[in-house]
Structure 1
Amino acid sequence: MTWLPESLRHLRRDVFFLVLLGVAIVFAVAMPSRVASWPALVDWPTIAALTGLLILTKAVEQSGALAHAGQWLIDHTATRRLAALGLVAATALLSMLLTNDVSLFVMVPLTLSMCRIARMPATRLVVFEALAVNAGSMLTPIGNPQNLFLWQQWGVSFGGFVWAMLPVVAIALALLLALTACAFPSTPLQVHEKAEGGLDKRLLVIAAVLYVPFLFLADAHHVAWGLAGVVLVFAFVRRTILAAIDWGLLLTFVLMFIDLRMLAGLDIVRGWLGALDLHQPLHLFATGALASQVVSNVPAAILLAEYSHDWRTLAWGVNVGGFGFILGSLANLIALRLLGEKKAWGTFHLWSVPFFLVMGFVTWLLL
């Protein structure tokens, strides 16, 4: 087993992965005829996009650029509160333009580098960045996968989509920034060490040059070609990067797609949804938000779109559903996997569940 990447060896102690694996085994035993169709349940473009982003961000990390950027932030930030507010706001802004997943792949490694230099506790900061991408990404149709699906499904204009989402996003961001200011002390930042190692400019330039065309190909639905190009380049330039990415995260995502879509396709689930009178906006919003807690907001959006044409209410529901439990949004899982702290799950739910309840109540009032 020593030949396996470290991230795959750690899966034996990953409770979340083991639960997903157990659910898959139950489905395989209960419905063996469906096993052959499992590959079709996986959103392979999403897996390919995640793989490419993991490779590129690992290259940026190994170039030393993130450590140097973290050092710069510490040198130009007076207090922990200001540092937290800046990182949370930047994460939310990036998620509006570069999608929630990409924002986390950029900001979480940067945050970890900064926290190592200043010896700041990283867990709470990364949790707030997860909340930030869920809040910020709901504004635009390209901010997250569920918005992209709903935007394409109903052909809404870009500006019309943003205008419809603006009230909820404004409230979520105002609440999050206020919570951030309360959660982080105004104590001065203290530098305990300088960024170690030099800057590998060649590796950084290669990653930067590949980044834009990879995102362009992913947006043009040619992500497989983009991934092939990224893998080919790093196979020649620095093949150790390919082995160093989190392969366990990718395998976990594959199992999530299989388990959640098998669950969403059960007759009992569809029958239950059909009896909820989803033509009522409040019913649709509540169902979208609560269903996201169980099957994640992307499958919830795809499933509920078959029962209602009220795209705005559905978008509000599944986006608010990204808060709460970790399954609410795949971005939550990405953030905690990048953090790599086992005790982070408790901290995440300590902040995310109350935030979900407050946002759910406020959005309910808006409806």
Structure 2
Amino acid sequence: MSSTKAKPVGSTSTLARLWALVSREPVLAILVVALLGLQILHPRPWTALPALIDWQTVLTLAGLLMLTKAVELSGFLMWMAHRVVHRIHSERALAFLLIGLAAALSTLLTNDVALFAVVPLALSLHKLAPLPIKRLVIFIALAVNAGSVLTPLGNPQNLFLWQTSGVSFGAFVWALAPLCAVLMAMLYVLTAFMFRAEPLDLSGDVEEHRVDRTLCVVAAFAFIAFVALADAHHAGPALAAVAIGFLLWRRQVVLKIDWLLLLIFVLMFIVLRSAAALPLVHDAIANIGLNAPLRAYAAGAVLSQGISNVPAAIMLAEFSKDWRALAFGVSVGGFGIAIGSLANLIAVRLSGEKDMWTPFHIVSIPFWIVATAIGALLV
């Protein structure tokens, strides 16, 4: 009798673990299901799938994840933030500071890494002084989306478009600078209205934050060298040097990066390029006429609302070579509905606050509408 009862218990346990994985990583689960469905509808040899992946982009992303993890583990970001934050005097000034810090960090450390540095800081400050934490986290999410527009390192879609465009790092920054400036100006104006100028007491923040100076300095120099090599399209050798060096010296830098993010990115290339190759999809998007910059821009801004801006960039790049218009479109597409950018979902999850979705969309959707209109003028 005991053996017959063990089977359903084991099956239930397996299903529970599977459901837990799907709940934690819904994007990964959706991509796996989509890949299986595409292989049924439009089968390709499994050995041909790796050819659909833009390995230069994936290798660059892997290197950046390792280097930003090194900066994070050094403790420098928290050390810097806590010393700067004691110079402020009001709720509004705190919001200005955290938004500026989040935007600045996102230009070099990616929008996700910036969130992991700034949102925990905001939560710790909330323990020291009463703050409108939901509103603050929402604005930090908007800030990393706006700031990350500026550089190829700011977010995965910029990294992808930079690698596929073939332009230099400086040329990419110059092209995206006007949109970034407008988005940040809009955000600061909105912040001035949404946060009060009431005095803020942070005298209770006396925690000491140590910095691993050696790790911080090594990471900084390695970061500069890696970006230079990636810009010269040598991301593979650069990644090998970074990975081997840290595995021999500080292996946690390599072991603790978000490997699932890399897997998700790989699957996005395979799934979306396979989907784009379907005759029905190809004809539908081709008929839109994405060769016109404004249409490519509008497609990026709108499609991001349904599938997020990273997969939107990957898919639309199959139909338009106007990387600037696509970059503008998927950049503003990060606002609006939360799924527009994975950074939005990360910020909400990090906050630990309940009932965040309604206030988030009350702010983000109008912001997206205005940003989309202004972006269309800049394109």
Query: Normalising by structure 1, what TM-score?
Result: 0.76
Q: Report whether the alignment pairs 1:27 with 2:41.
A: no
Output the CA distance in 2 between the equivalents of 1:216 and 1:328. Answer: 30
Please name the residue that 1:6 is paired with.
none
Which residue of the partner structure matches residue 58 of structure 2? 47
| Aligned residue among 253, 270, 274 for 1:262 | 274
Q: Which amino acid aligns with 1:43?
A: D
Give the CA deviation at 1:39: 1.7
Q: Structure 1 counterpart of 2:81, which letter? A: G
Query: What are the residue-to-residue correspondences of 1:123-134 with 2, within 5 Å?
Result: 125=136, 127-134=138-145
Would the alpha carbon gap of residues 36 and 189 (structure 1) be closer, same or farther in structure 2, given more than 3 Å must change?
farther
2:23 corresponds to: 13
Greater shift, 224-233 or 356-365, is seen at: 356-365
Please tell me the residue identity of whatever aligns with 1:217: L
Q: What is the aligned partner in structure 1 of residue 48 from structure 2?
A: 37
Distance in 2 of aligned mates of 1:133 and 1:177: 13
Q: How does 1:153-164 map to 2 (within 5 A)?
A: 158=171, 162=174
Structure-1 separation of matches of 2:145 and 2:38? 30
Residue ranges of structure 2 left out of the alignment (5+ in a row): 1-18
For residue 130 of structure 1, report the CA deviation from its aligned partner: 4.1
Q: 2:240 aligns with which of 219, 228, 233?
A: 228
Post-superposition CA distance 1:16-73 (Å, at most 9, x none): 3222222222223333325333222222232222222222222222222222222202
Match of 1:145 in 2: 159
Whether 1:353 and 2:365 are equivalent positions in the alignment is yes
Q: Answer whether contact 1:297 1:321 (CA < 8 A) is retained.
A: yes
Work out whether residues 38 and 275 of structure 2, in 8 Å CA contact, stay in contact via their aligned partners in 1: no
SS of 2:364's equivalent? helix
Q: 3-state DSSP class of the match of 2:187?
A: helix
| Residue 102 of structure 1, aligned match among 87, 110, 114 | 110
Equivalent in the alignment of 1:243 = 255
Report the residue type matching 1:255 in the other structure.
L
Is structure 2 residue 215 aligned with structure 1 residue 203? yes
Q: TM-score, normalised by structure 2?
A: 0.74
Could you tell me how far 1:176 is from its partner in structure 2?
Answer: 1.3
Distance apart, 1:271 and its partner CA:
0.9
Match of 1:216 among 194, 204, 228: 228
Is the partner of 2:185 in helix, strand or coil? helix
Q: Percent identical across equivalent pairs? A: 40
CA distance in 2, matches of 1:224, 1:309: 24
1:163-194 alpha-carbon deviations (Å, 9 max, x no partner) = x7566444322211122333444441525443
User: Within 5 A, what are the aligned runs for 1:150-189?
Assistant: 152=166, 158=171, 162=174, 168-187=179-198, 188-189=200-201
Question: C-alpha root-mean-square deviation of aligned residues, in Å?
Answer: 4.0
Does structure 2 conserve the Cα–Cα contact (< 8 Å) formed by 1:51 and 1:227? yes
CA distance in 2, matches of 1:54, 1:142: 11
Go from structure 1 to structure 2 and tell me whether the alpha carbon gap of 1:282 and 1:56 turns closer, same or farther (over 3 Å shift): closer
Question: How far 1:140 moved relative to its partner?
Answer: 6.4
1:324 to 1:200, Cα distance in 2 relative to 1, 3 A? same
Residue 87 of structure 2 corresponds to 76
- Greater mean alpha carbon deviation, residues 305-314 or residues 275-284: 305-314
| Alignment counterpart, residue 120 of structure 2, candidates 107, 112, 115 | 112
Structure 1 residues 94, 150: CA separation in 2 closer, same or farther (over 3 Å shift)? farther
Q: Deviations over 1:136-166 (max 9, x none)?
A: 454567862366368647x9x949x84x756
State the secondary structure of the residue aligned to 1:241: helix
> Aligned pair count?
353
Select between 65-74 and 271-280 the one with higher mean Cα deviation.
271-280
The range that moved more, 132-141 or 221-230, is 132-141
Q: Which residue of 1 aligns with 2:298?
A: 286
Which of 77-86 and 189-198 deviates more?
A: 189-198
1:83-115 CA-partner distances (Å, limit 9, x unpaired)? 22223234445656x4xx536535642452454
Residue 5 of structure 1 is matched in structure 2 by: none
* One-letter identity of the residue aligned with 1:105: V
Q: Which has the larger radius of gyration?
A: 2
Give the conservation status (yes or no) of the 8 Å contact 2:301–2:331. yes
Instruction: Give CA-to-partner distance per residue, 1:223-242, whole Å, 9 cap, x none.
Output: 22222122222222222332
